[in-house]
Amino acid sequence: SRKKGQVSKSGDLNSAVSFFVFALFLSLLMQYLYENVLGIMYRYMSFDFGRTVSATFAGNVLGTGIFEFFKIFLPFGLLAMFVGIGTNLFQVGFLFTLHPLKPDFKRLNPIEGFKNIFSIKAIFNMVKSILKLMVVVLIAFFIIQSMLVAITNTGQIGTEKIFPFFIDLIRRLSLTIASLMIVLGVIDFVFQKREFKKNMKMTKQEVREEHKDMEGDPQIKSKRKQIQREMSMQRMMAEVMSSDVVVTNPTHLAIALRYKENDKAPVVTAKGTDFLAARIREKAQEENIPIIEDKPLARMMYHKVEPGMHIPVELYQAVAEVLALVYQMEEQRKGKI
């Protein structure tokens, strides 16, 4: 999800930290701003506007004013920008991906857009924004109300004290609101992180469900494989019953052989290792099928011949000796009878 640009991030925390730092520096440098803005105003008031004002003169005055204000407030804008970048890095780390820029036709679907506008998330964000605005307005109201008497008496304190008074008012308002926004931003950050983790869990579960729908329930698949193994085992045991001999090495491998008059060469009817080899030996004993130990032959047949296949020419001699021994044992058994 991170490669696709899907990360947990709180926009409220970014805004809150940027505003807090901006408000802090604004309150600390208010005197600097006051002096610079006042200096610009004095310079403009010193212009002789009584003379004929040309377009060039007006343009120069306007351009100079814009440049002066830009020069004063640019550091604050850059500060807010870098703080915002730093807050983003704190939340998600360094991440560069072009995936969100890829064309997605779902975004052009008006029905999907309508659903997003009236989705639970959109309504929640709208309610959250309204509540934040109400809290900010209430705080501003209580601060101004607490200083209402002083504000109404500003006309009596002298012009030299009015500006410091309003600087203090703006400082209290901005820092209090910024501090509250930080608290709300941290709460939103924690909430967004929890929601993101929950959504990722849901996404993983959806993938599992989709995989289950496409591939089938793993338990059913496991049961089906078990049934297939049991059926395969039954078929193999049936083949062992029709065999003439079982060659072993003696415990690890077991290979069942059959040779009939019409066969062009002996056929491997079953083979197995460990547990399956033990089952083949047990079945051979139940059916009174001879079990011959021949380690080299057992290994070669196991690695070279699959069940249902004739043995290769290079094994003819070794298998013929085994079959001869089996026939000899059979003759001896009949003779005893």
The DSSP-derived string for 185-200 is HHHHHHHHHHHHHHHH
- Domain annotation covers residue 320: yes
- Domain annotation covers residue 102: no
- Domain annotation covers residue 111: no
Q: Clarify whether residues 43 and 166 are in a common domain.
A: yes
Q: Clarify whether residues 174 and 27 are in a common domain.
A: yes
Give the chain's domain count.
2
Residue 77 domain boundaries: 11-95+147-215
The pairs formed by 82-86 with CB atoms below 8 angstroms and a separation of 24 or more are 83/17, 83/18, 83/21, 83/22, 84/14, 84/17, 84/18
Buried b (16+ CB within 10 A) or exposed e, 232-242: eeeebbebbee
Does the pTM of the predicted model rise above 0.85?
A: no
Q: Clarify whether residues 246 and 311 are in a common domain.
A: yes
Q: Clarify whether residues 46 and 189 are in a common domain.
A: yes
Q: Clarify whether residues 280 and 209 are in a common domain.
A: no
- Domain annotation covers residue 128: no
> What would the two tokens of residue 228 be?
């297939």
CA distance linking residue 161 with residue 213, whole number of Å:
76
Q: Clarify whether residues 247 and 153 are in a common domain.
A: no
- Domain annotation covers residue 129: no
Residue 2: per-residue pLDDT: 47
**pLDDT tens string for the chain (337 positions)?**
445 545 556 677 777 787 888 777 777 777 777 777 777 777 666 665 555 556 666 676 677 777 777 777 777 777 777 877 777 777 666 655 555 555 555 555 566 555 656 667 677 778 878 888 888 888 888 888 887 777 777 666 666 667 777 777 877 888 888 888 888 888 888 887 787 777 766 556 656 665 665 555 667 777 778 888 778 788 888 888 888 899 998 888 999 999 888 888 999 999 988 888 999 999 999 888 999 999 999 999 999 999 889 999 999 999 999 989 988 888 877 765 5
Residue 300: per-residue pLDDT: 92
Residue 223: per-residue pLDDT: 79
**Among 292, 295, 256, residue whose Cα is nearest residue 272:** 256
Chosen domain end from 193, 215, 237 = 215
Q: Clarify whether residues 241 and 308 are in a common domain.
A: yes
The CA R_g of the chain, rounded to the nearest whole Å, is 45
Q: Clarify whether residues 43 and 190 are in a common domain.
A: yes
Q: Clarify whether residues 182 and 314 are in a common domain.
A: no
Buried b (16+ CB within 10 A) or exposed e, 57-78: eeeeeeeeeeebeeebeeeeee
